[in-house]
Chains A and B, each alone.
Chain A
Amino acid sequence: MITNKMIDSFIEKIPPKPDALHATIKFLNDGNLTKAAKVAEEDLALKSYLIHLVNKPIYGFKTEVSDIGQIFGILSLSGSQQTVYNYMLSLLCPKKWELFNLNEISFNELQANLSSHWKKILDFLNIKDKEIESAITLLPASIIVSEALFSTKKEDVELLRSVNALDYNTILTRLCGTSLFDICNMIATKWDMSQQIQQIVYASSGLNPSDNEQINTLAKWMHLLLFYELSQPLFIKAGLNDFIDFQLEYVQDIYEDFTKVMEL
């Protein structure tokens, strides 16, 4: 059904970061918002993405904000980095979703929800680290990978899942020995995302806890946050609730704190 050759071909097709994007991220990593904004202006698609994002009602601006320097200022350094990573990931999204009932708007909403709740969590944990803040942006890559690999096998997967509760990650791992989260890391490597981001997202599958205590704790929060979002009606209807297996025991010890942060 899915072979390693198909995975290799998918990875191969992932475009490298465009030059402007590469430079934008480099300046953001250096903490230079002004130069980052100047370079970002050159990438018209990124520019449009940023303008569209910051003029959403959630930001509450009465008049349209269209200056990239101003936008980066509003988003702050870590927020700008997250937004640019989210944009990069959205470049991988299919034009038309087949496996999941998603579209550009609902996928962006998932990204936005994850980012804003992740920020809340990091505030609660008192963590101020822009790499860790950006880690959440890689998580939805697992959804994009599932869509890319399984969309043409939708019927087969449905039949398989009608007799056995197999999630996409398990099917892929059993067939190819490679998990969705391995592929997320391949994407991250291709895009020069930091090792720390890769380690957190990899452990957030709930199946491969990290030996590093901080990374493992963050991975637990990320795993639980993902299932909090995937329990929202929009994403249940999109068919995302069971695309990977929820590891309830993995997150049990942070559950009480999670309910406080999310005000459940």
Chain B
Amino acid sequence: MRAILKNGIGLFSPQGFLDGNNSSSFLSIEDVDATVELNTDMILVSLKKVIFFNKNGLDVFIKLFSKIKKKKNIIVGFCDYDSKKFTAISKFYSSEMNFSLFRTYDIALLFSNSFKNKNKNVLLYSDDKSQRTAMAIELHDFGHNPVVCQTYEEFHEKSSNSSAYDNIIYDTFIGQMGQKIATRVAGNTIIYSVSSFLDADIGNTFNIAYHNNSLNVGFRLFIFDAYKVISMNIHALNFFSKLSTSAAEYNATICFVGLDFTKIPLSFKDTMEDSGILFYKQMDDILQNKELLKELGASSAANIKNKRVIDKAIVTKLPDFIEATVATIEMMTNSKAKKEAVEVNKIEIKEKSDRIASSIGFYGDIDGMVVLVFPTKIAKKACELLIGESTDDLELILDTLAELVNIVGGKIKSLLGDHDVRVNITLPRTYQSIDSLMEVIENKKGVQVDLAFDDDKFLFFLTK
């Protein structure tokens, strides 16, 4: 069974009956491994469509969970169940529950690194005091505002005013949380979250391949969210110094935010500063300061010292890129595309109003970036298949557009793979206006292909 990957959560959704005979057919270690490899920070099995399960059925998943936890240090567990199922699972595994239970997918999202700092107001209750505390701490760390109820009566009273809260948490249990270094993207910045004591293990938990690929596709600002770091030793110091030195070759900057030096030798700070690492107290000191972002290289790819140019290796694969894009948009809109013009130059967008855009990077045997500029009308139509209805909610359209571009990226990967070109794809980015897109790609040269879907113009741009 394949997982759906959204917001860093890999979600498996079996349907029907789960028992010892069939569970291993639903989920294999290969399925889970393939999902984890896609930079997932949580693996969950949804019980929403499961009408019957027994302990033997769940045991198969639990065994897989513990293997994955051991190997990858990510959050694993179940979600989407009712109180009856929660009680049953809690009884099955009472004293040995080292996985998590999230009543809904939305509750799981609150504990996901990809959904950090959304400032959600969350009402929280568990009859287990240590769980109440643990969840409250985690929610706070993830940038939400938990309101903890100490008694069921208090919870009952407060939850009756459900409109006061974005989420209400009950029948939820957090097992050991993941310790993998979480990664998220904010604009043109990559943010890594590190915590507790940093030692030689940082070399195992930090995804160096992802970092290098982010440098390759043009990210220039990397922030370590270090509020929860208690201390670090010389091995971690060496790791960060080396990381910063190698980033400098790309003209990239590494910053630490919230690092407290009470328990870290001050000489470490000097060494890190010597290798080019910058320190800030608050995340907003960087992210809300446009001038500083520009200075640090996060506002525009134009800051790149050695401008990367589109080369023959990519251009020869242009038909694969076009085919993947056209086939996906045709599939989503059930309409036919017509190629109108192809030009190698800087991107030129004549009509800027009523347009939204999205981009996705790829890296591996070749690397670069695909930019798609949609008339809002086409984007809405293309997203209808995924949403199930017509909508004018721009945020929803942009979110869905990111899914659509993910499909395009997946298809590009598969088509290139057919020609023995191996690439991986990055997370997609969306732009709600052409101006915000131009901030990133204004000076980049690439191949621009103008396409028409019925009477609507659509733009494809391939660059490095």
In B1-36, the 8 Å CB interface with A consists of 1-6, 11, 13-18, 21-22, 24-26
Which of B1, B385, B388 has most chain A Cβ within 10 Å?
Answer: B385
Contact B25–A236 (Cβ < 8 Å): yes
CB of B386 within 8 Å of the partner chain: yes
**Majority secondary structure of chain B interface residues (helix, strand, loop or mixed):** mixed
Given contacts A165-B13, A246-B15, contact A233 B49 (CB under 8 A): no
Contact B410–A241 (Cβ < 8 Å): no
Q: Report the minimum CB–CB distance from B190 to chain A (whole Å).
A: 22
Q: Which residue of A lies closest to B35 (CB)?
A: A162
A125 to B21, CA, bound (A): 28
Q: How many residues of A contact B (CB 8 A)?
A: 39
A259 to B11, CA, bound (A): 28
Contact B384–A164 (Cβ < 8 Å): no
CB of A251 within 8 Å of the partner chain: yes
CB of B327 within 8 Å of the partner chain: yes
Q: Report the minimum CB–CB distance from B408 to chain A (whole Å).
A: 9
**Majority secondary structure of chain A interface residues (helix, strand, loop or mixed):** helix
Q: Report the minimum CB–CB distance from A230 to chain B (whole Å).
A: 6
A184 to B108, CA, bound (A): 39
Indicate which residue in A156, A160, A230 contacts B16 across the interface (CB closer than 8 Å): A230
Contact A163–B407 (Cβ < 8 Å): yes
The stretch among A44-52, A55-63, A138-146, A166-174 that forms the contact with chain B is A166-174
Q: Report the minimum CB–CB distance from B239 to chain A (whole Å).
A: 34
A242 to B27, CA, bound (A): 13
Note all chain A residues with C-beta closer than 8 A to B18.
231
Contact A160–B331 (Cβ < 8 Å): yes
Contact B403–A175 (Cβ < 8 Å): no
Given contacts A227-B16, A241-B15, A264-B52, contact A236 B26 (CB under 8 A): yes
CB of B414 within 8 Å of the partner chain: yes
* Interface residues as binary, A237-264 with B (CB distance below 8 Å gives 1, 0 otherwise): 1000110011010011001000100001
A242 to B2, CA, bound (A): 11
CB of B334 within 8 Å of the partner chain: yes
CB of B104 within 8 Å of the partner chain: no
Indicate which residue in A1, A2, A162 contacts B5 across the interface (CB closer than 8 Å): A162
CB of B411 within 8 Å of the partner chain: yes
CB of B48 within 8 Å of the partner chain: yes
* Interface residues as binary, B395-438 with A (CB distance below 8 Å gives 1, 0 otherwise): 00000000110110011001000000000000000000000000
Q: Report the minimum CB–CB distance from A55 to chain B (whole Å).
A: 28
A175 to B404, CA, bound (A): 16
Q: Which residue of A lies closest to B15 (CB)?
A: A246
CB of B186 within 8 Å of the partner chain: no
A246 to B80, CA, bound (A): 14
Given contacts A163-B403, A163-B406, A175-B385, contact A227 B5 (CB under 8 A): no
A24 to B415, CA, bound (A): 51
Note all chain B residues with C-beta closer than 8 A to A252.
51
Q: Report the minimum CB–CB distance from A117 to chain B (whole Å).
A: 13
Q: Report the minimum CB–CB distance from B229 to chain A (whole Å).
A: 34
A164 to B407, CA, bound (A): 10
Q: Report the minimum CB–CB distance from A160 to chain B (whole Å).
A: 6
CB of B330 within 8 Å of the partner chain: yes
CB of A3 within 8 Å of the partner chain: yes
* Interface residues as binary, A1-22 with B (CB distance below 8 Å gives 1, 0 otherwise): 1110000000000000000000
Note all chain A residues with C-beta closer than 8 A to B410.
159, 162
Contact B388–A246 (Cβ < 8 Å): no
Q: Report the minimum CB–CB distance from A232 to chain B (whole Å).
A: 7
Indicate which residue in B2, B14, B49, B330 contacts A162 across the interface (CB closer than 8 Å): B2
Contact A248–B407 (Cβ < 8 Å): no
In A142-188, the 8 Å CB interface with B consists of 153, 155-156, 158-166, 170-171, 174-176
Contact B331–A156 (Cβ < 8 Å): yes
17 contacts between A and B (CB under 8 A): A155-B411, A160-B407, A162-B4, A163-B5, A163-B407, A165-B11, A170-B388, A224-B51, A227-B51, A231-B15, A231-B17, A241-B15, A248-B48, A248-B49, A248-B51, A255-B52, A259-B52
Please give the residue numbers on chain B whose beta carbons come within 8 Å of chain A beta carbons, in ascending order: 1-6, 11, 13-18, 21-22, 24-26, 48-52, 327-328, 330-331, 334, 384-386, 388, 403-404, 406-407, 410-411, 414
Q: Known contacts A3-B334, A161-B4; can you find 4 more A-B pairs with CB under 8 A?
A: A163-B404, A163-B406, A227-B17, A246-B49
Please give the residue numbers on chain A whose beta carbons come within 8 Å of chain B beta carbons, in ascending order: 1-3, 153, 155-156, 158-166, 170-171, 174-176, 224, 227-228, 230-233, 236-237, 241-242, 245-246, 248, 251-252, 255, 259, 264
A-B pairs, top 8 by smallest CB distance, nearest first, are A231-B16, A227-B16, A231-B17, A236-B25, A246-B15, A233-B25, A1-B331, A163-B403
